[in-house]
Amino acid sequence: MILFNIISILLTLGTSPDCDGFGMCILEQQTEQALETCMKYDNCLEAELGYQDRELLISVSHKKMKDNIYIKHFTTENFRLDKDFTIPNNVAESIGCPQGLTIPAGKYPIYEEGGKIVVRIRF
């Protein structure tokens, strides 16, 4: 599958408000300011986000990921989301997905593709 709208993001894992636990706490397009905010958290990572055909893909280079993040969030067959997470409207617009798109809490399959860890979320 070729994704036409792929953007660089900063993803802080965990659940809000303190970004602890499992899931997605903060998701922003990558900017200098967003990077400063993200780096305040030990569970922040650089990733890519894409959307096509009612499927959201989050891909992360294993090489760019801290060991503690990999061990906690990506060593099982599924990525765990403890709380529903709504994609921010500006990010949704950039990847061409519907505004207000919410990922329901649950478990989502993890794949390894081309040296990257990929989470696929079907809607």
The pLDDT of residue 93 is: 95
The pLDDT of residue 84 is: 96
Low-confidence residues of the chain: pLDDT under 50 = none
Number of domains in the chain: 1
Whether 1 is in a domain gets the answer no
Whether 117 is in a domain gets the answer yes
Which of 103, 31, 48 lies closest to 39, judged by CA?
Answer: 31
Whether 43 is in a domain gets the answer yes
The pLDDT of residue 49 is: 97
| Distance separating alpha carbons of residues 87 and 98, to the nearest angstrom | 9
Please give the distance of CA 74 from its chain centroid, rounded to a whole number. Answer: 12
The pLDDT of residue 2 is: 53
Whether 73 is in a domain gets the answer yes
| Distance separating alpha carbons of residues 58 and 83, to the nearest angstrom | 17
Please give the distance of CA 55 from its chain centroid, rounded to a whole number. Answer: 13
User: Using CA atoms in the order 5, 52, 97, 111, what is the torsion angle rounded to 10 degrees?
Assistant: -90
Whether 86 is in a domain gets the answer yes
What is the chain's alpha carbon radius of gyration, rounded to the nearest angstrom?
A: 13
Write out the residue range of the structural domain in which residue 110 sits: 6-122
DSSP type of residue 1: -
Which pTM value belongs to this model?
Answer: 0.89
- CB of 30 within 8 A of CB of 23? no
